[in-house]
């Protein structure tokens, strides 16, 4: 049984930093593309960042480019999202997702496994 668990969310002031972690079990971690999505109240879930199976290719939404960094540690079955210079508009529930193959990596529908989410709140 696959389990995906996020952690590291919290409340920070604008300009602050948080590091999200996501650990998956029950799957061969290195065979999966991993992504972070977020969803704010009343808005659709949106892709934040994606990392390839090898960890070499990394992609970011325009809104977080230069502020967020995605990484993975396959020895720990964990993917991270380092978030710096946080803004109030980054406030959302952040979800980790995994998929083995994808055509549109920014589409939530492409991802097989999801965590429960971790809340990030940024105050001005």
DSSP-based three-state secondary structure for 75: helix
> What percentage of the chain carries pLDDT values higher than 90?
96
Lookup: tokens for 66 = 């230069």
pLDDT in tens, 26-61: 999 999 999 999 999 999 999 999 999 999 999 999
CA-closest candidate to residue 97, choices 41, 42, 27, 40: 27
Residue 56: which residues within 8 A CB-CB, separation 6 or more?
none
């Amino acid at each position: 049984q696959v389990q995906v668990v996020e952690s590291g969310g919290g409340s920070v002031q604008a300009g602050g930093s948080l590091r999200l972690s996501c650990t998956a079990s029950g799957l061969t971690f290195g065979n999966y593309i991993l992504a972070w999505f977020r969803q704010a109240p009343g808005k659709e879930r949106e892709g934040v960042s994606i990392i390839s199976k090898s960890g070499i290719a990394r992609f970011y939404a325009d809104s977080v480019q230069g502020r967020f960094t995605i990484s993975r540690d396959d020895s720990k079955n964990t993917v991270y999202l380092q978030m710096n210079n946080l803004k109030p508009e980054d406030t959302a529930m952040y979800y980790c997702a995994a998929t083995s193959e994808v055509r549109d990596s920014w589409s939530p529908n492409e991802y097989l496994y999801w965590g429960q989410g971790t809340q990030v709140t940024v105050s001005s």
